[in-house]
Amino acid sequence: MTGDKSMNQSTIQTLALAIHSKRNVSFTYDGHYRECSPHALGHKGGKVNMLVFQFSGATSSGPITSDGPGNWKCMDVAKIQGLELIEGDWHTWENHSQPSTCIDTMIAEVAY
């Protein structure tokens, strides 16, 4: 269990860095490869969640085909595998400041 906790802490630190520096990340989540621009990281219901704008890869509903308001995803950080910082344009959408139910207590959030 200690390994899981330190891995989770490393993941949290990498995601916080990506958020503060507006860097993209790639990872596998629920068996699907994803490329995302993380916007917020925090606690909700005993879990650490992140709010991302997914711009490439796949979801349980199929492949991401274009940027759009439906590309926002709330993800449980514990389910992330193979997290990497990647290069490229950072993505967002005009509804980025809409209220979200993904996070109650913030760890890191993008500054616009």
Domain boundaries, the chain: 2-109
Pure H helices in the chain: 2-20
- Spell out the residues 6+ positions from residue 92 whose beta carbon is closer than 8 angstroms to its own: 37, 39, 53, 110
Query: What burial letters (b/e) apply to 73-82, b meaning 16+ CB within 10 Å?
Result: bebebeebee
Q: pTM value?
A: 0.87
Q: How far apart are CA 110 and CA 60, in angstroms?
A: 26
Segment 43-92, tens digit of pLDDT: 999 999 999 999 999 998 888 877 777 899 999 999 999 999 999 999 99
Average pLDDT of the residues of the chain: 88
pLDDT interval class at 93 (50, 70, 90)? confident
